[in-house]
Amino acid sequence: MLYAVVAKCPVFGGKVKSFDATKAKQMDGVKHVVQISTGIAVVADNTWNAMEARKALVIQWDEGKLADLSTPKISKMFADSMAKEGAMARKVGDAPGVIAKAPKKIESVYEVPFLSHAPMEPMNCTALVKDGKCTVWAATQMQTGARDVAVEASGLKPEDVTLNTTFMGGGFGRRGGPDFVADAVETSKALGIPIKLTWTREDDMQHDLYRPASYVRFQGALDDQGWPAAVTSRVACPPFGPERDGVAGVAVEGIQDMRYAIPNFQVDYHRFDLGIPVSYWRSVGYSQNCYMMESFIDELATEGKKDQLEFRRKLLAGTPRLLAALNLAAEKFGWDKPLPAGHGKGIGVVSNIGSFTAQIAEVSVTGGKLKVHRVVAAIDCGQVVNPAIIEQQIQSGIVYGLASMKSAITIDKGRVQQGNFHQYEVTRIEEMPVVEVHVVPSTAAPGGTGEASTPGIVPAVANAIFSATGKRIRRMPVKPADLA
């Protein structure tokens, strides 16, 4: 077995124009340099030698049509689309008509960036294509997709391809994408020997299948009692996942299927095929849309001069399981008890993956620095099989969600600007709040827990920031200037 890394075009969609491997082939341990569909594979006697030799390649790239793409341009495209109605995702009553005539209305824009999955273990795969057979060893979340990619890359029949699934050092949806499998299979096919392919951290971050950037404009109207009469939501977001009638379902989930009893409600969607690869990220569309929807609900409560807990209780009366989770979280948090001076509290609720989850966060802001002190989470996930795993999953989902408040993938000249954790922040040990997990007793069919808590933590913290400081967080990531 030999070891490989692949040099890929730094611009999305770019290809190799020409390359010179003379210097790379002269370096220690280098055995082969071969071109594959995604770039230039350097093969050596160990991974370090392959990585060092890759630096010596001289490559001319055809950067393609995305070489001038940038984060500001993407944001402007999203913002410009707000002027007209998109494909209809959900329509109840006449929300635009009610808002147009309402004496008391509110409008807010929310925006989130692309995000990397950033698992601790970068992508890697071992493959052997020889004698009409292909064997693959890979940490994958979607075995069928990985096998199908190996079939295509090897040119063999499905029955001649064997996939061995290994343990994974973090997936979060990234290992549902099998692009790294193709790299290994193509390299092995070209050489006829087993190849262990490894991505560096920079490869992993700059060639990810990202959580899509999204831009949402909300409009709302309150009745004369301060309760919501109408809400509209216009979503601009790259598509991924199943589509129907021009709407990418995961791009609007968490808004389209929100559980609040609002008599006039409308969601429409603008599709943007940017050429940036996007895919599932832990809790998928709920991860960004729950933050936006729950924050706007909080804005409506404030505008209507309502307590954010009581506001939600009234609007969730028709969804008893979610209401029960919210009530349990409020009870365990001690909602009516005073907080220390300078502290604030916020709520985030979500119904996804067959479960109903509520979170309440307590935060403080000192000198522009955010501190999340504690989170109380309650979940109705149906019949409980293993309470310890529920607690672990809720805690881990909160860790992951908190990281999304610090990080962003930004684009300049078609290139990702982040390469490692000094540029792409994640939750550090000292930043982790105390997390309490409480389970609503239930005899309903079991629901999921792995993605249940990731969506709700971001709005809970954002709403708590408003409670503590009076500053509304409408864009991610949260920056010190947003808190000052």
Alpha carbon of residue 280 to chain centroid: 7
Distance CA 422, CA 400 (A): 17
> Assign residue 80 a region: left if phi > 0, alpha if psi is -120 to 50, beta otherwise?
alpha
Q: What is the pLDDT of residues 169-194, one digit of tens each?
A: 999 999 999 999 999 999 999 999 99
Q: What percent of the chain has pLDDT over 90?
A: 99
Q: What is the pLDDT of residues 241-250, one digit of tens each?
A: 899 999 999 9
The DSSP line for 14-38 is: -EEEEEE-HHHHTSTTEEEEEEETT
Query: Which residues have a Cβ under 8 Å from the Cβ of 273 and sit 6 or more positions away?
Result: 238, 239
Q: Sorting pLDDT into bands at 50, 70 and 90, what band is 474? A: very high
**240 has pLDDT over 90:** no
Query: What's the whole-model pTM score?
Result: 0.97
Residue 31's pLDDT is 98
The fourth-level CATH superfamily of domain 1-65 is Aldehyde oxidase/xanthine dehydrogenase, a/b hammerhead (3.90.1170.50)
Residues of the chain with CATH 3.90.1170.50: 1-65
Residue 406's pLDDT is 96
Residue 436's pLDDT is 98
Topology of the domain comprising 75-114+211-483: Aldehyde Oxidoreductase; domain 4 (3.30.365)
Residue 183's pLDDT is 98
Q: Which CATH class is domain 123-198?
A: alpha beta
Q: What is the pLDDT of residues 330-380, one digit of tens each?
A: 999 999 999 999 999 999 999 999 999 999 999 999 999 999 999 999 999
Q: Sorting pLDDT into bands at 50, 70 and 90, what band is 427? A: very high
288 three-class SS: helix
Residues of the chain with CATH 3.30.365.10: 75-114+211-483, 123-198
Residue 104's pLDDT is 87
Residue 396's pLDDT is 97
